[in-house]
């Protein structure tokens, strides 16, 4: 049985070495911008912070209170209906029918 051996070309053929220039020699001097102390830098996440207003906050509070009121009324209504069903033994009747005790 003969083995076929194929040699791979060295890495220098496929990846020639990069130039040996100094990175600090090509740097350009840029002017440094000085900001005054009273003027803060503009940040991306701070752009929407200025758009807030008291009217928008009042609308949010109104919607929150409205949703909480609807949730509270729904909760009271559900407990009222559950107590009515427990008093009339409707839940026990449905459970017994599901088990098959009542024909």
Q: Is residue 83 part of a domain?
A: yes
Predicted confidence (pLDDT) per residue in 74-96, tens digit: 999 999 999 999 899 888 888 88
CA distances from 24 to 42, 81, 85 (A): 30, 79, 83
CA distance 42 to 76: 50
Predicted confidence (pLDDT) per residue in 54-77, tens digit: 677 888 999 999 999 999 999 999
Question: With bands split at pLDDT 50, 70 and 90, how would you rate the model's confidence at 100?
Answer: confident
CA distance 36 to 39: 6
**Which range of residues forms the domain containing residue 88?**
75-103
Q: Is residue 81 part of a domain?
A: yes
Predicted confidence (pLDDT) per residue in 23-50, tens digit: 666 667 677 766 666 655 666 666 655 5
Q: Is residue 45 part of a domain?
A: no
CA distance 60 to 97: 48
Q: Is residue 95 part of a domain?
A: yes
Name the nearest CA neighbour of 66 among 77, 54, 56, 74. 74
The total domain count for the chain is 1
Q: Is residue 27 part of a domain?
A: no
Structure-model confidence comparison of residues 91 and 7, the more confident one: 91
HSE of 45, CA atoms in CB hemisphere, 13 A: 0
Q: Is residue 15 part of a domain?
A: no
Question: With bands split at pLDDT 50, 70 and 90, how would you rate the model's confidence at 7?
Answer: confident
Q: Is residue 17 part of a domain?
A: no
| The two three-digit tokens of residue 39, written as one number | 């003027």
């Amino acid at each position: 049985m003969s083995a076929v051996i194929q040699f791979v070309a060295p890495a220098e053929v496929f990846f020639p070495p990069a130039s040996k220039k100094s990175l600090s020699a090509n740097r350009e001097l840029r002017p440094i911008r000085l900001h005054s102390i009273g003027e803060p830098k503009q940040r991306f996440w701070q752009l929407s912070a200025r758009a807030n207003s008291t009217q928008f906050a009042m609308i949010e509070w109104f919607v929150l209170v409205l949703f909480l009121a609807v949730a509270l009324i729904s909760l009271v209504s559900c407990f009222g209906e559950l107590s009515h069903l427990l008093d009339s033994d409707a839940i026990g009747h449905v459970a017994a029918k599901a088990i098959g005790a009542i024909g």
